Amino acid sequence: MSDAWVLVQTPELTMLAATLVLAFVFLFLPAAGRTMANGLDWNAGPRDGSPARPGIITQRLERAQANMWETLPLFIGAVLIAHVTDANGPLTFWGTQAFFWARLVYIPLYAFGVPFVRSIVWLIAMGGLVAIFAALFT
């Protein structure tokens, strides 16, 4: 392996890895709720027929998951571009931290229907993403 391709584990890449694990949690939670609503036999079977409507918390988790999927590709791309172009610095460090931790807090806030605070936490995550974008152009 040439020196040009030596990979360095940066704090930003660590937060990217943690965010991917968190994305798995976003995937798993509503799936578990649907299984609880429909039963293990439905989940393991061919899922013919109409499934039962999941409970309100599962519905909220599904919306939180969709929201995560909307921003996750942007986060992944921005972190990887920053890494490849050596644009890592304070903006990317704090941006990845803000995105991850806000997204972690976002899950229970959305699941339990906490208004306003959930929106503020979402804005913090988006602010983290904007900080990473800003690092790419400075």
Tens of pLDDT, residue by residue over 9-60, are 899 999 999 999 999 999 999 999 999 988 888 888 888 888 888 999 999 9
Tens of pLDDT, residue by residue over 68-121, are 999 999 999 999 999 999 999 999 999 999 999 999 999 999 999 999 999 999
pLDDT of residue 49: 80
Torsion sign across C-alpha atoms 132, 67, 56, 38: negative
Note the pTM of the prediction, 2 decimals. 0.89
Beta-carbon contacts of 70 under 8 Å, excluding residues fewer than 6 positions away, are none
